[in-house]
Structures are given as structure tokens and as C-alpha cells.
A = this chain, B = another copy of it.
Amino acid sequence: MAGSIYGKLFRVSTWGESHGKGLGVVIDGCPAGLELSEEDVQIYLNRRKPGQSKFSTPRKEDDAVEILSGIFEGRTTGTPISMVVLNKTQRSADYSEIAGYYRPGHADYTFDEKYGFRDYRGGGRSSGRETIGRVAAGAVAAKLLKSLGIELLSYTKSIGPYEIDYAEFDREEILNNNLYMPDKKTAEKAGEYVIEMLKAHDSTGGTAECIVTGMPVGIGETVFDKLDANLAKGIMSIGAVKGIEIGDGMAVAKAIGSVNNDGFRMSDGRVEKITNHSGGTLGGMSDGSPIIIRAAFKPTPSILHEQRTVNKSGEDITVSVKGRHDPIIVPRAVVVMEAMTALTIADAVLENMTARLDKIIEFYR
């Protein structure tokens, strides 16, 4: 079992089910002295809230966070930060039907096999609401990173066949459209495509991207705990992610070395990379250029479209999953991906402090 704790020094322990009493997270290892309010966290949680647009599910959920520990006079104390979001509406009756069969693309079958039974209400622990704890903790990690000059920017890169045009990249646009896309025109076309899917009782996949700037050089551990390896784990652990790319990603398979290698040059007395095909890491350590990471999210599995499956009595049946579901996961997952990135980098930034004896001696002088 286990599996709900993440991180080595900045450790988070998330909990909660879709239709239980609430969801939350405990952060153990946040440094003391960080100014932190419930509002800092709420801003992040609001970015994953449904009901903001015609593309996301119209269920009304407030998801108001309450911080229960670890803060004194507005600052973190170095002790665990416990955050809770209580579930307001618990209409379990809606979910009685799915208790009896395995929804395609969901974890119903594997949960039953692993644990012997499952909390079937709204997907239980494998609901998208599971990410509330991740996002709340990620908000804290992001604020910690910001105090070190490290900033994260995340957005929807593509929906179905519609991919943003970097020539049209407009950072301000991200929060202006319902799809969190930084390119207005593509967002419009993608929006129409999503509506089309909805009408066809179907859903679509997409990609999200996260850019991290201001990274010191050398963050990440060589061999197994490479920064990119840990980012891959953190982001692949988000439900629905099926592919992860750093920098040029899968495309490197077709590249040639003389182009793919990022040369170095001096710039204002500092070493810098001329290009950034590597996506900000070399040998698993940050190289000073922006970290660029992408993830592919599968189409929402809950669709009205008729599908084949089996029930718990071992009979072949066809089902159509009712309920109000987003036809696209990506826009609401953008902030989850940013949260996992922030958590992973915060942890690596802390561990990196112990890499060199000269700096340790200086620290304790």
C-alpha cells in the first residue's frame, strides 16, 4: 500500500477521497520563516476548480483550504503544515451504479484486485480530487522557490490536433481563456474541438508544458535521483499522464548529435548554453537554462459513448458513463503539473545544499 508520500526533505503526505469528508495534505520539511497564508494556497487551488467554463464540469465545489498547523504569526515554523479542504456535497447515491462494474480507463478493476474492494463513490482515492493535496502543497513549494528566484510557468500546449504556435505565445493569455492556452487563436480552435467532442459523447487528450526559470546550476543528484528523473516520476504520477518529455523529448530519437548538442558560450562573464535542446538539465543536474517539461494526458475516460466492459458478476456488458465530466483533462491538470514540478524542485534545491564541504563549512561558521 502506501504510495501517498512524496519527497525526501520537502515531504508531502496527501489523503482523501472524492466523496469522503475531505481531502488534504501534510507537509513535513518546509523550512521555517516562509510567509504563508491560506490565500497563497487558495489561488493555486482555484486554478484546478471546476465550473469555471463550459468545458469543465458544472459541479459546484468551493474547495476552500484551511491551514491547521505549522504557521505562527504568518510564517512557517519548520513544523508540519496540515491543510484541509472539506467536501461540501456528498451525494453518494449518484455513484451506486458504478459500484457494480469496471469503468474502462479507470482504476476500478485494479483497485478491486489489489485491495479486495474499493470506495466506488466518485472514484474514491483515484478521483481527480486526489490532486487537491498535491496542489495545496505545490503552492507552498512554489512560494518557497519564488523566494529563491525560481519561477514556474505552466499552460496547455495542445488539445487534440490543436497545438499552440510559439510565435503567438502570450503569457497573459493563459489565464484569459478557459483552456489555459498561451495562444488566443489556437485556444479558440481547440475550444471548438472540445465542444465537438462533447456533442459526440466523446473526449480528447492533450499536452501541458511547464517552464522553470531562475534555476541555480547543479540542482539534482547524479545517477538515480536526477532532476529530470524525479520530475518524470512526479508528473507521471498524475492520473491520465502517459508520456513525459524533457527538452526536445521524444524528438531526440530522430536528431543528430551535431544539432542536438547544446554548445556553450561566455555571456557577461558567465557560462551559458547557446541552445536548450536538453531542456535545462545535463547529467541530471540543472544547467542554468530553463527547465522545459511536457506531459501527454489521455482523453477523459468517463464518456457517454457506449463502451464494452464487465460487471462484478463476471458478465460482459456495455456501459455509458453518466454524470457531468470534462471532455478534456488538460486545462485543470496544468496546475497539478506545476505543483508536482514545484515539489520536486524544492526537494532537490534543499538536498543540493549538502553537496560540497566548503559550503557546509561556510554554513556552520
Contact = CB atoms under 8 A, between A and B. Distances in A.
A265 interface: yes
Contacts of A324: none
Contact of A258 (B82, B274, B297, B305): B305
B115 A32 contact: yes
Contacts of A111: 222, 283, 285
A363 B363 contact: yes
Interface stretch (A42-50, A123-131, A172-180): A123-131
Nearest to A35: B357
A332 interface: no
A239 B303 contact: no
A298 B309 CA distance: 40
A159 B268 CA distance: 39
A78 to B, nearest CB: 4
A4 B31 contact: no
Residues of A contacting B: mostly: mixed
Contacts of A205: 252-256, 260
A191 interface: no
Interface in A105-134: 105-107, 109-111, 113-119, 124-126, 130
A338 interface: no
A51 interface: no
A225 interface: yes
How many monomers of this chain does the complex have? Answer: 4
Given A222-B107, A237-B226, A297-B252, A126 B360 contact: no
Interface string A176-204: 00000000000000000000010001111
A126 B80 CA distance: 12
A356 B32 contact: yes
Interface string A317-344: 0000000000100000000000000000
A364 B282 contact: no
A294 B233 CA distance: 15
B20 A68 contact: yes
A30 B1 contact: yes
Contact of A260 (B102, B105, B206, B258): B105
Nearest to A118: B77
A162 to B, nearest CB: 10
B69 A15 contact: yes
Contact of A252 (B2, B16, B114, B296): B296
Interface in A139-188: 144, 147-149, 158, 160-161
A308 interface: yes
22 contacts: A1-B32, A2-B221, A4-B28, A4-B80, A4-B221, A15-B70, A31-B354, A32-B117, A78-B355, A111-B222, A113-B285, A125-B222, A125-B223, A205-B256, A225-B237, A239-B283, A242-B252, A243-B245, A250-B296, A255-B298, A257-B298, A257-B305
A226 B236 contact: yes
Contacts of A210: none
A125 B105 CA distance: 41
B78 A260 contact: no
Interface in A24-46: 24, 26, 28-34
Contacts of A98: none
